[in-house]
């Protein structure tokens, strides 16, 4: 990493918390070899029984593969590795998306594994129970309350300092206020005072719930044009005396839905952190730790590698401590797609093109650039080398984003000082002109880690 952020994240102001949404996708579903497991099925056009053949499969990347584990409790050990990795970059916990409450539900199995792993993991790691209102819209309130009351007995379920149970919810506006009041009353009757902390999908509805909530966050903000709305809603929530958690989103690509949102390489991620700090957010929710169906994960993965994960460590330290961590090492990060959104030879097996305008909220126009994001301890010359030649920029010490248009072929990134070559880094991903199925994920890497 470009700065010594591990100490900074652990010694920062405890009043500011950073969580990441945890969605459905564990390290492994089945403990099978990577070429035969559930992720291999999800990534194949013939996977999911061929239902997504036209889209080229369910997802385009996966968690970094591991060999099958011999232990019977492999799923708990996987979860422990996730918690350690999250805590290492300064995350205080996961917002767990509860899409099922039956004991045999995959959601509850993952949650039990997570809570069991938290017992063995680094101290202070919390799990916020977050109700998926879309999935549980018809589930009886009493059943939901009973499940939450049972889970709340676990010491790793998140609470406020005054002991109130922190209860999250995805898209609370899917339920009417009366249903929420019924649930909160049922929890109170069961002995749990609640700090209600939902994540709104339609933030225009926040006002309808203002008397009911203690804090709030929002979903979306997966394009740069959403940043002004993020800041506006955050300021209004804080003016109303509510705890506000800004959302930070790296990227959004959903092949199974046939659309993507333009994030401008790493710019959306960095701009979201800047917005959180500008308005004095009380917390940050990162969307997401592991939602591969939307390509929004920061967890180290096959396409984005450790790029967003390492950037998250830097910005978490900055957010918590209020000052930018001093850059002590030169590190080059890169972000680029492996094909242009406009390349005529890509997606030849698809009966359609992926687009940003299939849904109005994703309508920012596509952009096709190669980005070199440099963290420099002293000034230097940055160079991006493509098949069309080299482009250079003299950069000051600090953080510099240098972008050029996407060019097919291999890419290299260089840092020079005078006649000395400091870093010469090839991208792990070649940019192609043809493909059977479009892959519009931004891929990434850095000079501080070899590609995996």
pLDDT tens per residue across span 262-278: 999 999 999 999 999 99
Q: Which CA distances in Å does 417 have to 115, 335, 381, 446?
A: 49, 23, 6, 19
Q: pLDDT value at position 10?
A: 44
- Region 225-232: mean pLDDT is 93
Q: Show me where the domains of the chain are located.
A: 14-321, 331-446
- Residue 446 scores a pLDDT above 60: yes
CA angle 96, 102, 106 (to 5 degrees): 55
Q: pLDDT value at position 363?
A: 74
- Residue 110 scores a pLDDT above 50: yes
- Region 194-217: mean pLDDT is 92
- Residue 234 scores a pLDDT above 80: yes
- Residue 183 scores a pLDDT above 50: yes
Q: pLDDT value at position 364?
A: 87
Fold designation for 14-321? TIM Barrel (3.20.20)
- Residue 246 scores a pLDDT above 50: yes
- Region 76-84: mean pLDDT is 98
- Residue 221 scores a pLDDT above 80: yes
Q: pLDDT value at position 357?
A: 66
- Residue 186 scores a pLDDT above 90: yes
- Residue 48 scores a pLDDT above 50: yes
Q: Which CA distances in Å does 86 have to 53, 94, 121, 318, 327?
A: 34, 9, 11, 16, 22
- Residue 12 scores a pLDDT above 90: no
Q: What is the CATH number of domain 331-446?
A: 2.60.40
CA dihedral sign, ordered 56, 61, 65, 70: negative
- Residue 7 scores a pLDDT above 80: no
Q: pLDDT value at position 8?
A: 46
- Residue 360 scores a pLDDT above 90: no
- Region 287-310: mean pLDDT is 97
Q: What is the mean pLDDT of the chain?
A: 95
Q: How far apart are CA 430 and CA 211, in angstroms?
A: 52
Q: pLDDT value at position 376?
A: 98
CA nearest to 416, candidates 325, 336, 332: 332
Q: pLDDT value at position 6?
A: 52
Q: pLDDT value at position 358?
A: 64
The pTM of this model reads 0.96
């Amino acid at each position: 990493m470009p700065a010594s952020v591990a100490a900074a994240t652990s010694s920062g102001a405890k009043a500011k918390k950073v969580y990441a949404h945890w969605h459905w996708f564990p390290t492994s579903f089945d403990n099978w070899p990577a070429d035969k497991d559930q992720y291999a099925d999800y990534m194949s056009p013939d996977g999911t029984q061929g239902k997504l053949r036209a889209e080229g499969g369910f997802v385009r990347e996966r968690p970094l593969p591991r060999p099958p584990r011999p232990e019977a409790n492999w799923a708990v050990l996987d979860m422990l590795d996730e918690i350690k990795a999250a805590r290492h970059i300064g995350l205080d916990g996961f917002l767990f998306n509860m899409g099922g409450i039956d004991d045999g539900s995959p959601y509850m199995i993952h949650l039990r594994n997570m809570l069991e792993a938290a017992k063995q993991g680094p101290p202070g790691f919390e799990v916020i129970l977050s109700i998926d209102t879309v999935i549980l819209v018809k589930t009886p309130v009493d059943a939901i309350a009973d499940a939450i009351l049972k889970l709340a007995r676990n010491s790793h379920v998140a609470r406020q300092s005054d002991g109130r149970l922190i209860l999250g919810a995805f898209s609370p506006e899917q339920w009417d206020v009366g249903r929420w009041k019924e649930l909160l009353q049922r929890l109170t009757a069961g002995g749990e005072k609640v700090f209600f902390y939902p994540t709104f999908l339609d933030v225009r509805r926040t006002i309808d719930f203002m008397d009911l909530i203690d804090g709030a966050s929002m979903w979306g903000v997966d394009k740069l044009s959403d940043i002004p709305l993020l800041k506006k809603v955050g300021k209004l929530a804080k003016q109303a005396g509510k705890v506000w958690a800004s959302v930070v989103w790296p990227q959004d690509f959903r092949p199974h839905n046939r659309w993507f949102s333009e994030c401008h390489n790493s710019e959306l991620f960095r701009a979201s952190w800047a917005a959180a700090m500008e308005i004095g957010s009380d917390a940050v929710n990162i969307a997401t730790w592991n939602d591969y169906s939307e390509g929004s994960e920061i967890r180290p993965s096959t396409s984005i590698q450790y790029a967003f994960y390492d950037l998250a460590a830097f910005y978490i330290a900055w957010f918590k401590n209020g000052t930018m961590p001093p850059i002590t090492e030169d590190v080059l990060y890169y972000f680029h797609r492996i094909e242009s959104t406009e390349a005529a030879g890509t997606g030849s097996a698809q009966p359609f093109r992926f687009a940003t305008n299939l849904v109005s909220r994703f309508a920012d126009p596509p952009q096709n650039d190669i980005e070199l994001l440099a963290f420099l301890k002293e000034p230097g010359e940055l160079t991006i080398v493509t098949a069309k030649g080299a482009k250079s920029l003299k950069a000051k010490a600090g953080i510099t984003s240098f972008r050029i248009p996407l060019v097919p072929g291999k890419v290299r990134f260089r840092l020079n000082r005078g006649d000395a070559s400091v870093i010469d880094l090839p991208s792990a991903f070649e940019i192609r002109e043809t493909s059977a199925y479009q892959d519009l994920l931004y891929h990434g890497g850095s000079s501080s880690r070899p590609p995996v």
